[in-house]
Amino acid sequence: MFKTHSAKNIGHVFISLLLTGTCFATVQTKIIINASQPGVKISPTMYGIFFEDINFGADGGLYAELVKNRGFEFPEEAVMGWSRLAAGGARGSLSIRVQEPLEQANPHYLRIEVRDPSKGFGVSNEGFRGMGLRKGQEYWFSVYARAEMETMTFKVELIAPDGRVIGEARFADVTKGWQKYQCLIVPTDTEARATLNLLGTCVGLLDVDMVSLFPADSAVSSTLMPEPVPGLRKDIVQMLADMKPGFLRFPGGCIVEGRDLGNRYQWKNTIGHINQRKTIIGRWNTEFAHRLTPDYYQSFGLGFYEYFKLSEDIGAEPMPIINCGMACQFNTAQLVPMDQLEPYVQDMLDLIEFANGPADSKWGKIRADMGHPEPFNMKMIGIGNEQWGPQYIERYKVFAGAIKAKYPDMQLIAATGSDATIFPNGHAEIEYLWEQWRQLKPEIVDEHFYRQPDWFLENVGWYDNYDRNSPKLFVGEYASQSVGVASPDNRNNLKCALYEAAFMTGLERNADLVRMTCYAPLFGHEDAWQWRPDLIWFDNLNVYGSANYYVQKLFSLNPGTNLLTTQVNDAPIFDENKKALSVSSTLDKKAGEVIIKAVNVTAEKLKANIELKGAKKVGPKGKAIILTAKNLTDENSLQEPKKIYPAEKSVSVNSPSFSYEFQPYSLTVLRLLVE
Ligand code: AHR
């Protein structure tokens, strides 16, 4: 199976013997790094994050709200997530009403009519596949309530799957007129699938809306959110922060476009007080027949303010992607007529003002009122997601023209449709778009790759021959699909992770052209995903990184400041176009270190002579961070979240020329002091 680069048969035989562990003299792999000539600057945004509300990424995921359909606003399904509860033979009735609502924008609320309270009459909320509660931690319960005539009383219970009450609160004196009632509840047990009961405890009429339960320690805040400030799931935010991402792309993905235009992402509906944000159906709700998720809606509790704030909190450049008058071309492909684009263009200009305008500008004031008077300093914006065809180009021109007229420094990101292999007439479409981009010159062009693992390994040199005069590149969505694109059988296994890592060495070697990259999608809820593979997996209590996550993290934490030219001689290859060893290297000027990233995809140790050409002194101290596992099919899971996890060890090197043995099936990051 194994071959060398060399066509000579003799080399072929020797390498094959080495890799199968037989002791014959053989051609030694050589890595030559030009250490004294730092090349192009690695973009600080080289490694970033793609966020999309898919797989319960927002509601039920990053957004820490535990009550599903808290406002009874799921379109046409106002009571989805809720069920009737009559404890101890209680009697009463439930109705959804809109008269004199809490908010005109979200008019529905629940009326609980209690005729015989017994042990309580009302409703139970199922959460997002249950609610994750931890023993001893504080949770804020809140609800807007009013009594229709008499003063009302009610209770709230947190219920374990076996029916035990693990938290409780009682409220008396609910009077006429909407008022907020809230309290802290501390569960007496940890449960991943708890539910919440809200029960009237005296005869009368009780109206309730915006029923909410949040962990008290959720991470991001905004003054317009209900007190106390709820936000994002801290453990998940930490996983993102740990990557030290260069940018955060949001809100997608196809969710930007919507299945139809009515379902598109409209950022203005996602800001301000959460009581006024309008719930819509999630576009992934019924996308895949094999993973129907009828209870997938977007409450927009996680909206554009929160995205900007999250970007800031984790030190990432915000990268919003906006709808350009086109619905998803894989779905309805609806188009806004050219003479009706103006409101869409205005939305985009207003977004820039919301992010960057002074606190006394119309949209900057809304940002300031939400708790952030300083601008978010957004520098780039994507026009459309996976758009293609002449219809895209004519719309792109309108949006780009409007932005550049007002904000000439704003960097524009243009699309190249989807992965060429999965969208209709792919390659021709992409060629057409590239012709346009060469003329229109957006600052950045976005390319997507959802391919099988072998493709990533075979195409480590994908960008080597790209035209250096073309716009810069954003590899804005990629992930190795072990079975097929979005197949429910895809796995986040070591093979996929390593082959992506090999591909990433190619991205890094082309860092003059490739300025930004990110894996997609970001999140998967173990019980509620639609698309896999995903970078980070979670359930209602836990979160873990896939092997792919640790690959991304290792690149992101070790970018270096300048590219170093790297040549690999006599590396074995297996199969026609696949190299056993892929390498890139950079210099970290601040740390005075050379950073070598090497991916060995074989089952054997691979020894290489490494020469840091031009270096006067190397080491002696250094370290190697190694990501590996026994089998290519290994993967992390809730049960074994760190089965594939980077291990660090010290290495000692005393000369610019040294040898190093790369572990089987591994990504190694070597950091060595250099002068
Ligand atoms: O990452 C999942 C989806 O794949 C994105 O929404 C879309 O842009 C791509 O087709």
Can you spell out the DSSP letters for 560-622? -SEEE-EEEES-EEETTTEESEEEEEEEETTTTEEEEEEEE-SSS-EEEEEEEET-S-EEEEE
Model pLDDT, residue 218:
79
3-state DSSP call for residue 382? strand
- pLDDT tens column, 156-167: 999 999 999 999
Cβ 573 vs Cβ 579: under 8 Å: yes
* Cα–Cα–Cα angle for 360, 396, 418, rounded to 5 degrees: 115
Q: Is 94 helix (H, G, I), strand (E, B) or coil?
A: strand
Burial (CB < 10 A; 0-12, 13-18, 19+), residue 222, is: buried
Half-sphere exposure of 520 (CA within 13 A, CB side): 27
Sequence-separated (6 or more) residues with CB below 8 Å from residue 401: none
pLDDT at 423: 75
Q: Distance of CA 344 to CAs 43, 257, 489, 496, 635, Å?
A: 31, 12, 38, 39, 43
Instruction: Give the tens place of pLDDT for each residue, 46-101.
Output: 999 999 999 999 999 999 999 999 999 999 899 999 999 999 999 999 999 999 99
* Omega before 228 within 30 of 0, i.e. cis: yes
pLDDT > 60? residue 17: no
Q: Is the CB of 531 under 6 A from ligand 1?
A: yes
Q: Best substitution site from 49, 50, 52, 328 to test ligand 1's pocket, by max atoms within 8 Å of Cβ?
A: 52
Ligand 1 in reach of 386 Cβ (< 6 A): yes
Here the tokens at position 445 are 């062009």
Does the active-site annotation cover 386? Answer: yes
Q: 573 to each of 17, 578, 630, 662, how far by Cα in Å?
A: 13, 5, 20, 15
Q: Is the pLDDT score of 222 beyond 90?
A: no
Helix, strand, or coil here: 326? strand
Question: How far is the C-alpha of 482 from the C-alpha of 321, rounded, in Å?
Answer: 28
Distance in Å, CA 50 to ligand 1 centroid: 10
What is the reported pLDDT for 388? Answer: 95
State pLDDT tens for residues 356-414.
999 999 999 999 999 899 999 999 999 999 999 999 999 999 999 999 999 999 999 99
Helices 494-509 & 547-557 angle (0-180, nearest 10): 20
Q: How far apart are CA 223 and CA 275, in angstroms?
A: 13
Q: Is the peptide bond prior to 424 cis by the omega test (within 30 degrees of 0)?
A: no
Segment 175-204 shows an average pLDDT of 97
Lowest mean pLDDT among 12-21, 56-65, 597-606, 656-665: 12-21
Ligand 1 and 287: CB distance under 6 A? no
CB within 8 A of 273, min separation 6: which ones?
A: 224, 225
Q: Are 496 and 482 in contact (CB under 8 A)?
A: yes
DSSP single-letter state for residue 72: S
pLDDT at residue number 560: 98
What is the model's pLDDT at position 217?
84
Sheet holding 179-185, edge to edge: 91-97, 109-116, 204-215, 139-147, 179-185
What pLDDT digit, counting tens, does each position of 231-290 carry? Answer: 899 999 999 999 999 999 999 999 999 999 999 999 999 999 999 999 999 999 999 999
Choose the catalytic residue: 386, 458, 500, 611: 386
Which phi and psi angles does 37 have, rounded to 5°?
-125, 80
Instruction: Give the side-chain half-sphere CA count within 13 A for 610.
Output: 29
What count of other Cβ atoms lies within 10 Å of the Cβ of residue 428? 10
Give 460 Cα–ligand 1 centroid separation in angstroms. 22
Compute the distance from residue 531 Cα to the ligand 1 centre, in Å. 9
Per-residue pLDDT tens over the stretch 291-324: 999 999 999 999 999 999 999 999 999 999 999 9
pLDDT category at 19 given cuts 50, 70, 90 is very low
Ligand 1 centroid, distance to 520 Cα (angstroms)? 7
Give tens-digit pLDDT for 513-550: 999 999 999 999 999 999 999 999 999 999 999 999 99
Instruction: For ligand 1, say whether the CB of 521 is within 6 Å of any of its atoms.
Output: yes
Distance CA 274, CA 306 (A): 11
> Which helix H or strand E contains 669, and what residues bound it?
strand 666-674
Task: Please state, as a whole number, how many other Cβ atoms lie within 10 Å of the Cβ of residue 459.
Answer: 18
Q: What local confidence, expressed as pLDDT, does residue 26 receive?
A: 60
Distances (CA, A) of 514 to 49, 470, 566: 15, 11, 17
439 exposure class (CB count in 10 Å sphere: 0-12, 13-18, 19+): exposed
Helices (H), 444-489: 453-458
- Distance (Å, rounded) from C-alpha 669 to C-alpha 646? 10
DSSP of 14-61, one letter per residue? Answer: HHHHHHTT-----PPEEEEEETTS--SBPPTTSB-EE--S-SSSTBTT
Instruction: Please state, in angstroms and as integers, the Cα–Cα distance from residue 90 to each residue in 69, 120, 239, 294, 511, following that order.
Output: 24, 6, 46, 31, 68
Residue 493 has pLDDT above 50, yes or no: yes
The model's confidence at residue 574, banded by pLDDT at 50, 70 and 90, is confident
Burial class (CB in 10 A: 0-12, 13-18, 19+), 469: exposed
- First CA to last CA distance, the chain: 41
Give the C-alpha separation, 240 to 547, whole Å. 15
Q: Is 337 helix (H, G, I), strand (E, B) or coil?
A: coil
pTM exceeds cut of 0.85:
yes
Measured by CA distance, the residue closest to atom 6 of ligand 1 is 253
pLDDT confidence bin for 664, thresholds 50/70/90? very high
Helix (H, G, I), strand (E, B) or coil at 335: strand
Mean predicted lDDT score pLDDT of the chain: 93
Q: Which residues pair with residue 108 across a beta bridge?
A: none
- Confidence check: pLDDT of 133 > 80: yes
Sign of the torsion angle spanned by Cα atoms 395, 398, 399, 404: positive
Q: Residue 123 CB: number of other CB atoms within 10 A?
A: 21
Strands (E) across 189-231 are located at 191-200, 204-215
Report the nearest atom of ligand 1 relative to the CA of 52: 6
- In 10 A of CB 610, how many CB atoms? 24
HSE at residue 153, side-chain half, CA atoms within 13 A, is 11
Q: Where are the beta strands (DSSP E) in 82-164?
A: 82-86, 91-97, 109-116, 121-125, 131-133, 139-147, 152-159
| Residues across the chain | 675
Q: Is the CB of 253 under 6 A from ligand 1?
A: yes
Ligand 1, atom 7, residue with closest C-alpha: 253
- Residue 274: count other Cβ atoms within 10 Å of its Cβ: 25
The best mutation among 386, 419, 421, 534 to test binding of ligand 1, ranked by most ligand atoms within 8 Å of the C-beta, falls on: 386
Q: From 488, 528, 84, select the one nearest 294 (Cα to Cα).
A: 528
Q: Are 120 and 155 in contact (CB under 8 A)?
A: yes
Which residue's CA lies nearest to atom 4 of ligand 1?
A: 253
